Amino acid sequence: MNEEIAFWMLSAIAVLGALVAVRKRNLIHGVFALMVFFAGLAGLFLLLLAEFIAAAQILVYIGAVGILLLFAIMLTERVAGDDGRRMTSRGWFWGLVAAVAVFVVLLLPPIQQFPSPEHARAIEPSVKELGEKLMHPYVVTLEVLALLLTAALIGAVTAAQGVRMPKEEDSPE
Amino acid sequence: MTLHHYLILAAVLFCVGLIGVFTRRNAIVVLFSVEIMLNAANLNFIAFWRYSENPALLHGPLFTLFAIAVAAAEVAVGLALVIAVYRHFKTVDLESMDTLREE
């Protein structure tokens, strides 16, 4: 019973947060709604007993990605959003139709035909095993991921720095 | 709560993200709509793991952890590209970036 109330409340928070984030004209407000969505999703992960993933969700998404988005918005044009201009793209109607069609035609039927296991099994708190699994069978994946993050960091710095135009060549003296 | 509740919720969230990608013109909004879609996929991983035959194997959280790391890398590079594009075009409006379009 309590689980059901928590599920409905958290899913309402997540869906409303996502909708506001997607439709809000003011980008800063949109990013804060996105943070609400991430928090709702972290609550759902807790409800599914994935406590480490919930913590990682809060740290990575609300902490890092949210702030990164705020900085990107402040570094690019108008903070208050697309005032006085069209907010939506030219083919917005067909985009809307396509998104709803993906839901109705592609996603919903397989979900409904999927045989649903009614009961979740009881599980132990899993952070310790998660760490051990990361060290034993998945250590290569972990290292590749570290390499990927380093490459992404360097790539992001390089891309944001831009190409320096060689305006003033060092004249030979 | 059955598995279906979580799957339908994830599908709804995915489509909300898809609506953002399809209908907005601001590059940053499109980027974080993609993040919403990735998070819906993560919710599916965790839900399938929770209702699976053998949750002690921890496949769901491990895969979600890797997906979160890749998504973080993606958002960092994506925003750097948005800033680079902004420096060039002086706008983040996706419809004005049409240099490659044949007129």
CB contact under 8 A, A160 and B86: no
Domains: count for chain A = 2
What Rg value do the Cα atoms of chain A yield, rounded? 22
Helix (H), strand (E) at residue A154: helix A139-161
The nearest CA of chain A is from the CA of B41 a distance in Å of: 11
Dihedral Cα B52, B54, B57, B58, nearest 10 deg: 30
Q: Average per-residue pLDDT in chain A?
A: 86
Cβ neighbours of residue B2 closer than 8 Å, sequence gap 6 or more: A116, A117, A118, B51
Q: Indicate whether A167 belongs to any domain.
A: no
Together in a domain, A78 and A149 = no
CB atoms B3 and A103 under 8 Å: no
The residue from A30, A50, A82 where one domain ends is: A82
- Contacts made by residues A82-87, CB under 8 angstroms, sequence distance 24+: A82/A25, A82/B25, A82/B26, A82/B93, A83/A25, A85/B93, A86/B25, A87/A25, A87/B24, A87/B25, A87/B26
Same domain, A20 and A74: yes
Question: Residue A58 belongs to a domain with what CATH number?
Answer: 1.20.120.1200
Q: What are the tens digits of pLDDT across the range B58-97?
A: 899 999 999 999 999 999 999 999 998 888 888 888 888 8
pLDDT in tens, A11-49: 999 999 999 999 888 888 999 999 999 999 999 999 999
CA distance A169 to chain B (A): 22
Q: How far B26 CA lies from chain A's nearest CA (Å)?
A: 8
* Average pLDDT over every residue of B34-54: 92
**Contact across the interface for B9 and A11, Cβ inside 8 Å:** yes
Residues spanned by the domain of A5: 1-82
Each residue's pLDDT tens digit, B11-31: 999 999 999 999 988 889 999
pLDDT confidence tier of residue A65, bands split at 50, 70 and 90: very high
B23 touches chain A (CB under 8 A): yes
| CATH of span B3-94 | 1.10.287.3510
Specify the residue for token string 């909708």. Answer: A19
Give domain status of residue A106, yes or no.
no
Which ipTM was obtained for this model? 0.93
B84 interfacial to chain A (CB closer than 8 Å): yes
* Same domain as A133, residue A61: no
Task: Tell me, yes or no, whether A20 lies in a domain.
Answer: yes
| pLDDT more than 70, % of chain A | 86
- pTM for the model stands at 0.89
Residue A11 within a domain: yes
Pair A53, A128 in one domain: no
Q: Report if residue A49 sits inside a domain.
A: yes
Q: What is the pLDDT of residues A104-131, one digit of tens each?
A: 988 888 888 888 776 677 777 778 888 9
